[in-house]
Chains A and B, each alone.
Chain A
Amino acid sequence: MPVKAAPVEVNIGPQHPSTHGVFRMVAKIDGERIVDVNMIVGYLHRSMEKLAEERTFTQNIPFTDRMDYLAAMSGNLGYCLSVEKLAGVEVPERAMYLRVIFAELQRVASHCMATGAFINDCGAWQTPVMWCFRDRERVLDLFEMTCGARLTTNYMRIGGVAFDIPDEFLPALDKLINDELPKAFEEYEELIVGNEIIMMRARDVGVVTPEVAINASLSGPLLRSAGIAWDLRKADPYCGYDRFKFDIPVGYNGDAYDRMVIRIEEMKQSLRIIRQAVADLPDGAHKTDIPLALRPPAGEAYSRVESPKGELGFYVVSDGGPAPYRWHVRAPSLINLSVLREMTIGQTISDAIVTLGSIDINVGELDR
């Protein structure tokens, strides 16, 4: 006779090793199976969108670092693109290429972190995350060389980038993308991709069907794992991405394993883009001069970039003043998280943790 027990309510988070910050899942659990999940966000809400209305357009750039702090460059880029679109600022060619180089380096850093943390959620005892940290540190060294900061870079400016690259940057970058990172990715392939335990843990876990993915407006590796080749760098090219040759990796099954291999493959594609960008890097100014207190004409603009987490959109409204009238961020972490409930119900707790890790949320961006 099967024993029926009332579901137990378990708080996973906000203080939990695997919630990637202060995200909270209230899970109703029957044995090990999850019956229902209630997601509670907002523990890291810093009211950035409101604060931005009090600051000038340039002063708002550091906020974009602190939203997705693992992909500060992508946040910088998205915001600067939207203000440039609003104010009609032209960007020099060299700045465009530098932006591409740094945005792709940032993608490598962020995906390294996502992959390592995901394997950690699968239960490895810190080793993969340390290896991935090692490679992320190499990328951050280049950021530090260029703009002095490692994590919250504040590097892009409206109309270009803050600093030109130093002389020792290109040799270091060449060593990184042609020697160190390809070797590291080979290690990942050996350690992670072919690992049977990871396959057992991640295959068929957290499955997203293409219909659900489109209906929930997912983006990034989560969408591509479901078999839909949608990458804004191809679909809506910005910043000169249409000049580079690269492929979009697409998964088969929409499960956590697909997302992981897609991330590893995207890192390789990023290196491809960087190699082309370095080869074509033009000379010239790295920045257009704009007034310190930029007053774009009244109007609105929306621009979006493919951040490592997905479609990062910035909607800026100006009333002609020095500060935005309204500033809204379409954060991929928040929108990708909205399918967590559909993905986890019926799975075990262990699977729910793996699923959450495979979505790759960043709570700074989730709550803003």
Chain B
Amino acid sequence: MTMLLDLITGYWWDARDLSNMTRPLYEFLRDQGVSDAGIFVISALLGTLAIISFVGAVAIINIWVERRVVGRMQSRLGPNRLGPFGLLQPIADAIKLMQKEVLQPASAPGWIYTVAPIAFTVPGIAILAVIPWGRNMVLANLDVGLLYILGLSSLAVLSVFMAGYSSNNKYSLFGAMRVIAMLVSYEIPIVAGLLGIVLFAGSMNLQEIVLFQEEHWAFMIMLQPLAFLIYFFSISAELNRTPADIAEAESEIVGGYHTEYSGMKFGLFYAAELINAVAVSAIIATLFLGGWWTYKLDEFIPGWMLLIGKIYGVYFIFVWTRGTLPRFRIDQLLAFAWKWLTPMALINVIVVAAEVLLWNETGWSDWFWIPAIIAINTALCVGLIVFFVKVFAPKFQRFPTRPRFYPGIDVPSLPAVTPPDFARKGGPA
């Protein structure tokens, strides 16, 4: 019984906040006569080690999760041979990839080709450093956490460009070209979408954003449903996941940027893609779904467990869209960013700015403003989407989706039908 009480009363073994473990470590090192700077360096290294081990475990687990979930969606079993439920399959995959010869095209010399897969893995790991896992459980409590995340998530795209450019393959170059075009377009809705959160929380610190949600008893997704949708779609474009996986577009440009990669270099791309997906899920869970805070639930369940649950919830949606949707064409994808997401995000920022201003100026109670903002922003989200669909959606309804029918045996040939607007004028988007 005392054990149980100890577990929830804030001793260093309290499972709710693993950061308590650092206190005995700090005391031990101080007794050994280590200076404060030395303690800082040692604890930073240990924290980094923890994040990297988490990332490694996540990459291994996610290979299984992704293959298994998509397998079920495709009415097949997925990995099921190795270990219980095929859980050891990713390890076998990794062993196979490590044994394979790493082929490098003779026409692709240079260090860029080698560095690209390594550079691709860095942002996903580095992003997880600023994610708050509990009330005191942050490795790097940066005041510019959101800016840091935005910068790093663009870096992943840069390494994709490095890979595609240095492979000396036309398909890879297409992938690289597409990635740059996409990056330029999608950074704007991403940043403009997240601006609303910063306006609400008044800080770019992720911990502050979580605390804002806790203080006002509302997930950010309720206050900012439109920003959530914009961010979710834009980031899935930056992550190269369907419906926006135009950079690797298997059916068109074979593998895009990683066509020429083999062995563990390809394995790094594959693993880093999953790590990036988890990092992005962590961002979404923290910014929009309350992070480690979940109403009263985080007093009974450790916050970091709740956060991992939320991360996998978001990750499941990523896998779901990947298993369901076809791909956009590049011009449609860019048109979607410029004509739909960017204006929507800007309108959202203006509305949020007005709301925050009124909130601060009127000085009325939060119990009035939070429900009011939820109502206004949900209406804005639905209204804007309906408006855009009505006004700007590509018009495919010139022709019905059902074919015509010609019954009867005496109809060998019917007069050809020429629709009014027959000529193809550019892209339909």
Interface residues of A (CB under 8 A from B): 8, 10, 16-18, 32, 119-127, 130-131, 134, 191, 193-201, 203-204, 207, 209-211, 214, 224, 226-230, 234-235, 237, 242, 245-253, 257-258, 261-262, 265, 346, 348-351, 353
Contact = CB atoms under 8 A, between A and B. Distances in A.
Interface stretch (B2-10, B82-90, B205-213, B397-405): B397-405
Q: Classify chain B: how many residues form its interface, as a range.
A: 35 or more
Contacts of A211: 416
B329 A127 contact: no
Contacts of B329: 200-201, 348, 350-351
Interface stretch (B41-49, B245-253, B265-273, B285-293): B245-253
B242 A204 contact: no
B183 interface: no
A17 B254 CA distance: 6
Given A122-B327, A195-B326, A201-B326, A227 B251 contact: no
Contact of B413 (A228, A245, A249, A261): A228
Interface string B407-429: 11101111011110010100011
Nearest to A120: B251
Contact of B416 (A126, A210, A349): A210
Contacts of B246: 350
Interface stretch (B50-58, B68-76, B226-234, B295-303): B68-76
Given A123-B251, A130-B75, A204-B424, A199 B396 contact: yes
Nearest to B406: A229
A346 B424 CA distance: 10
Interface stretch (B111-119, B121-129, B131-139, B317-325): B317-325
Contacts of B402: 261, 265
B325 to A, nearest CB: 6
Contacts of A130: 74-76
Contact of A228 (B170, B171, B414): B414
Contact of A123 (B249, B403, B408, B413): B249
Contacts of B330: 32, 348, 350
A270 B243 CA distance: 33
B412 A123 contact: no
Nearest to A241: B409
B257 interface: no
Contacts of B154: none
Contacts, number: 168
Given A127-B324, A198-B326, A348-B331, A253 B242 contact: no
Given A130-B74, A252-B419, 16 more contacts: A125-B242, A126-B74, A134-B75, A194-B401, A197-B327, A199-B394, A200-B332, A200-B396, A247-B407, A249-B403, A249-B404, A250-B405, A251-B403, A252-B399, A261-B402, A265-B402
Given A134-B75, A197-B326, A197-B328, A125 B405 contact: no
B174 interface: yes
Interface string B379-399: 000000000000001101011
Nearest to B324: A127
A20 to B, nearest CB: 11
Interface in B20-55: none
Given A123-B251, A131-B75, A248-B405, A204 B325 contact: no
B254 A200 contact: no
A265 B406 CA distance: 12
Contacts of A234: 408-409, 411-412
A346 B426 CA distance: 9
A248 B250 CA distance: 35
Which of B174, B399, B400 neighbours the largest number of chain A CB atoms within 10 Å of its CB? B399
B414 A229 contact: yes
Contacts of B254: 16-17
A8 B396 CA distance: 32
A250 B402 CA distance: 9
A10 B416 contact: no
14 contacts: A10-B170, A18-B251, A119-B326, A123-B249, A123-B252, A124-B324, A130-B74, A209-B422, A227-B416, A234-B409, A248-B406, A252-B404, A350-B329, A350-B330
Contacts of A134: 75
Contact of B249 (A245, A247, A350): A350
A125 B322 contact: yes
Contacts of B326: 119, 122-124, 195, 197-198, 201
B327 A123 contact: yes
Contacts of B417: 210, 227, 252
Contact of B328 (A10, A17, A200, A235): A200
A341 B249 CA distance: 22
